[in-house]
Amino acid sequence: MTALVTVRGLTARAGDRTLVDDVSFDLVAGRITALVGPSGSGKTTTALALHGEHHPGVRLSGRVTVDGREIIGADGVLAGAAAVRGRIVAHLTQHPGAALNPARRVGGVLREIARAHRGGDDTAVTDALRQARLDDGRALRRRFPHQFSGGQRQRVVLAEALACGPRVLVLDEPTTGLDAVTKAYVLTELTELARAGMAILLLSHDLPVVRALADQVVSLRAGRVEAAGTVGETLPAAKPWAFAAPGGADAVPSLEVFDLEAWHRRARVLHGVSLTLAPGRCEGLVGASGSGKTTLARCVAGLHDRMTGRVLLDGRPLPPLRRRDRELRRRVQYVWQEVRGSFEPHRPVLAEVARTAVRLRGLTATAAEHEALVLLDRLGVGEGTARRDPAGLSGGELQRAAVARALLAEPDVLICDEVTTALDETAARAVRDVLAEARRDRGVAMLLITHDLATACADADHLRVIDDGRIVDSGPPSRLVAAPGSETTALLLRAAAPAG
Q: Return per-residue pLDDT of the chain as tens, 500 residues.
A: 679 999 999 999 998 899 999 999 999 999 999 999 988 899 999 999 998 999 888 999 999 999 999 999 988 888 888 888 878 998 887 776 677 888 899 999 999 988 887 776 688 888 888 888 787 777 889 888 888 877 788 788 888 888 888 999 999 888 776 777 778 878 888 899 899 999 999 998 888 889 989 999 999 999 999 999 999 899 887 777 778 766 555 668 899 999 999 998 888 999 999 999 999 999 999 988 788 999 999 999 999 999 999 999 999 999 999 999 999 999 999 998 878 888 999 999 999 999 999 999 999 999 999 999 999 999 999 999 999 999 888 888 999 999 999 999 999 999 999 898 778 888 889 999 999 999 999 999 999 998 777 788 889 999 999 999 999 999 999 999 899 999 989 888 877 754 43
Give the C-alpha separation, 227 to 218, whole Å: 6
Domain edges within the chain = 3-234, 255-496
DSSP conformation class of 85: B
255-496 has the same fold as 3-234? yes
Q: Give bridge partners of residue 333 from the DSSP assignment.
A: 414
pLDDT at 6: 96
pLDDT at 498: 44
Fold of 3-234: Rossmann fold (3.40.50)
Q: Which run of H or of E encompasses 442?
A: helix 425-442
Strands 307-313 and 255-264, bridge-based pairing: antiparallel
pLDDT at 495: 73
Give the C-alpha separation, 298 to 409, whole Å: 18
Q: Which run of H or of E encompasses 25?
A: strand 17-28
pLDDT at 247: 56
Q: What is the pTM of this model?
A: 0.75
Q: Give bridge partners of residue 6 from the DSSP assignment.
A: 26, 65
pLDDT at 96: 66
**3-class DSSP assignment, residue 386:** helix
Tally Cβ neighbours within 10 Å of residue 232: 9
What's the half-sphere exposure (Cβ side, CA atoms, 13 Å) at 333? Answer: 24
3-state secondary structure 135-154: CCCHHHHCCCHHHCCHHHHH
DSSP assignment of 308-326, as one string? EEEEEETTEE---GGG--H
pLDDT at 282: 95
pLDDT at 385: 94
Contact 264, 315 (CB under 8 A): no
Q: Give bridge partners of residue 273 from the DSSP assignment.
A: 260
pLDDT at 500: 39
Task: Tell me how far CA of residue 111 lies from CA of 104, 115, 159, 376, in angstroms.
Answer: 12, 6, 11, 43
**3-class DSSP assignment, residue 171:** strand
Contact 492, 453 (CB under 8 A): yes
We find that the CATH architecture of domain 255-496 is 3-Layer(aba) Sandwich (3.40)
**3-class DSSP assignment, residue 63:** strand
Burial of residue 323 (CB within 10 Å: 0-12, 13-18, 19+) is exposed
